[in-house]
């Protein structure tokens, strides 16, 4: 291959899309099993590669040259083949510095906890030092090599100002959940997560819910790719182009999620939006019916509402791995906080606020099959619809007009 990215699991990598927007060279994703790494690097059948989990340190013995910065960090994520000699660099440093600045989070004079002890944690330590953090502690499950254990961090270091996550916790196809609860740290003024897929990990969502500035690693991914491209091609990328690539990637990957009352037009508007934007369309109620093998009224009648809600959560969790889709949710989907988190992990929520007098009862909606039921549900849920949505859209107009309004808001 000419250029590409190597790692053990690259199913959810965005690197190929980024590099193809940055330059015209051929760039591919190449999964390498641990037993095949030696043969791959010995053959040297590439001009330049990015290196990701778990090979940022494993590639180093194969290199004839390692940049001072990469050597200090102890990890290489970019390798260039120069006449058969392999040169190693670390572009994660510049990418993480750019991410922190882009998020508007200051590390100067702050106490920083770095979660994890792998190659990216070394980068985070170097970045925190560079940005003048007052004190820096690594945190790991084992507490080896001078790191704090998570229990120790929670007992003795809850005065930390900044948390930087460099573990795979919260990454799609890896471990679910949060490595630590940010709400246990009352002084917290920023959370940085190197994970970029999903766009917002549970750690980031938890921090944002408490008003703590927090960001995932997508901007870091783009900026380290920009630096790698500059090394590959010996050119300079204009800052405005890098920002454009980031904005385009974020827009392309973010789901458009429609919430609201039964009968508010979520499915109709969603289909129009998907057609306009050439995106896949998913209706969570249709997915539930497919999973259950029967219609929703039958699920309610034979198994009860809790069974339906449990199935709805399972479906939404599965759909949360999607990117770039239009998703229409059931009327009660946002009643469970975990559903909201799954939907927001890579989606922006739009509440279609259709006037209650325009909502029409139908037999296929067990909790909204009469005017009285609709009015009751509207009163019960209205505040939840508003507080869980990123944007409320007036939805009393035609489906095309509402779809246009959602589209305008999404691209603003």
Helix (H, G, I), strand (E, B) or coil at 372: helix
Active site residue 110: no
Cβ neighbours of 88 (radius 10 Å)? 22
**Could you give the CA distance from residue 370 to residue 378 in angstroms, rounded to a whole number?**
12
Alpha helices (H) in 103-217, listed in sequence order: 119-130, 150-156, 202-209
Q: How far apart are CA 283 and CA 182, in angstroms?
A: 33
From the candidates 43, 56, 110, 306, which is the catalytic residue?
Answer: 56
Task: Using the Cα atoms of residue 273, residue 279, residue 281 and residue 284 in order, give the sign of their dihedral.
Answer: negative
Q: Which residue has the tokens 């093998």?
A: 293
Answer yes or no: are the C-beta atoms of 214 and 202 closer than 8 Å.
no
Contacts of 206 (CB under 8 A, 6+ apart): 178, 181, 182, 183
Residue 38's contacts (CB-CB under 8 Å, 6 or more residues apart) are: none
Which residues carry out catalysis?
56
């Amino acid at each position: 291959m000419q250029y590409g990215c190597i790692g053990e699991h690259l199913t959810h990598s965005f690197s190929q899309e980024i590099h193809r927007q940055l330059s015209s060279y051929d760039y591919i994703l190449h999964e390498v099993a641990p037993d095949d790494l030696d043969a791959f690097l010995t053959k040297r059948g590439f001009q330049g590669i990015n290196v990701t989990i778990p090979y940022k340190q494993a590639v180093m013995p194969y290199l004839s040259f390692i940049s001072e910065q990469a050597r200090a960090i102890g990890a290489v994520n970019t390798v260039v083949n120069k006449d058969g000699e392999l040169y190693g660099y670390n572009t994660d440093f510049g990418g993480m510095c750019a991410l922190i600045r882009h998020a508007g989070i200051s590390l100067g004079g702050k106490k920083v906890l770095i979660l994890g002890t792998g190659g990216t944690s070394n980068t985070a330590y170097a970045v925190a030092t560079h940005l003048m953090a007052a004190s820096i502690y690594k945190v790991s499950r084992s507490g080896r090599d001078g790191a704090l254990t998570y229990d120790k961090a929670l007992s003795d270091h809850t005065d930390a100002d900044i948390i930087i996550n460099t573990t795979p916790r919260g990454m799609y196809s890896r471990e679910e959940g949060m490595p630590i609860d940010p709400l246990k740290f009352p002084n917290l003024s920023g959370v940085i997560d190197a994970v970029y897929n999903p766009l917002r990990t549970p750690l980031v969502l938890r921090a944002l819910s408490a008003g703590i500035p927090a960001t995932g690693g997508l901007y870091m991914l783009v900026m380290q790719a920009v630096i790698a491209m500059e090394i590959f091609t010996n050119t300079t990328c204009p800052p405005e182009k890098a920002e454009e690539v980031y904005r385009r990637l974020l827009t392309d990957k973010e789901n458009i999620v429609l919430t609201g009352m039964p009968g508010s037009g979520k499915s109709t508007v969603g289909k129009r939006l998907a057609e306009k934007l050439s995106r896949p369309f998913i209706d969570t109620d249709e997915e539930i019916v497919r999973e259950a093998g029967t219609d929703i009224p039958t699920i309610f009648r034979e198994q009860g509402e809790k069974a339906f809600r449990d199935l709805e959560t399972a479906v939404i969790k599965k759909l949360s791995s999607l990117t770039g889709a239009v998703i229409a949710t059931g009327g009660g989907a946002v009643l469970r906080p975990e559903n909201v988190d799954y939907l927001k992990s890579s989606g922006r929520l739009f509440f279609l606020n259709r006037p209650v007098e325009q909502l029409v009862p139908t037999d296929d909606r067990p909790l909204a099959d009469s005017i009285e039921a609709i009015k009751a549900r509207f009163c019960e849920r209205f505040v939840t619809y508003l507080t869980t949505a990123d944007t409320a859209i007036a939805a009393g107009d035609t489906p095309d007009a509402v779809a246009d309004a959602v589209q305008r808001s999404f691209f603003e």
